[in-house]
């Protein structure tokens, strides 16, 4: 079966993460966690991991990394790596730069932490306030082996997930976590 990776950035959020996990059910996805949010909600990080989802690093404060010096970039990544390893028992292998803001300096920083950068092929624009119908429509444009960008803190995304899963299945596409 051909696959599509579902990814969720910026969590965890107590208002939406539990409902998102419930909406995903047995489907596994990748969660790129924001370090400050993970530190504030460690039980949710553990719940994501316990449900079998892949966990990736999304920096500590969600900055535009290309605007930081090397030491600040490294601190953003290292601090999040350390926390996620402490909470889950394993160090993330995947990294998504906030805003997709990347370049050679970012690549060098994440390589130093053994991370693989993951961008996306479909942006649902849930971060811009897209409705559940718009999120679903965007996700329906995912091609085989594509990566769909969504965000945890958006109720419209949580509402759209069951329909996204049904639509992918109807197209013969299996939702999966990103392969590192």
Retrieve residue 83's tokens: 């926390």
- Contact present, 31 and 150 (Cβ < 8 Å): no
Is 133 part of the annotated catalytic residue set?
Answer: no
Q: Which of 9, 41, 53, 126 is catalytic?
A: 9
Retrieve residue 3's tokens: 């696959």
Peptide bond into 12 cis (omega under 30): yes
Q: Which of 37, 41, 58, 151 is catalytic?
A: 151
What distance in Å separates the CA atoms of residue 170 and residue 112, rounded to the nearest whole number?
A: 41
| Residues forming beta bridges with residue 6, ordered by sequence position | 148
Is 151 part of the annotated catalytic residue set?
Answer: yes
Three-class SS state of 9: strand
What distance in Å separates the CA atoms of residue 28 and residue 18, rounded to the nearest whole number?
A: 14
Other Cβ atoms within 10 Å of 19 Cβ, number: 16
Nearest to 65 by CA among 80, 83, 51: 80
What distance in Å separates the CA atoms of residue 105 and residue 66, rounded to the nearest whole number?
A: 7
Q: Which residues are catalytic?
A: 9, 151
């Amino acid at each position: 079966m051909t696959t599509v990776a579902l990814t969720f950035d910026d969590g965890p959020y107590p208002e939406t993460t539990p409902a998102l996990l419930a909406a995903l059910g047995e489907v596994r996805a990748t969660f790129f966690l924001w370090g400050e949010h993970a530190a504030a909600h460690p039980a949710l990080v553990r719940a994501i991991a316990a449900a079998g989802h892949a966990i990736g690093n999304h920096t500590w404060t969600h900055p535009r990394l290309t605007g930081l010096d090397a030491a600040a970039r490294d601190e953003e990544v290292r601090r999040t790596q350390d926390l996620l390893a402490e909470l889950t028992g394993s160090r993330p292998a995947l990294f998504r730069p906030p805003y997709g803001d990347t370049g050679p300096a970012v690549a060098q920083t994440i390589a130093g932490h053994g991370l693989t950068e993951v961008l996306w092929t479909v942006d649902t624009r849930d971060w811009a306030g897209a409705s559940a119908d718009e999120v679903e429509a965007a996700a329906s444009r995912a091609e085989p082996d594509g990566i769909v960008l969504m965000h945890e803190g958006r109720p419209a995304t949580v509402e759209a997930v069951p329909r996204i899963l049904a639509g992918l299945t109807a197209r013969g596409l299996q939702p999966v976590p990103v392969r590192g």
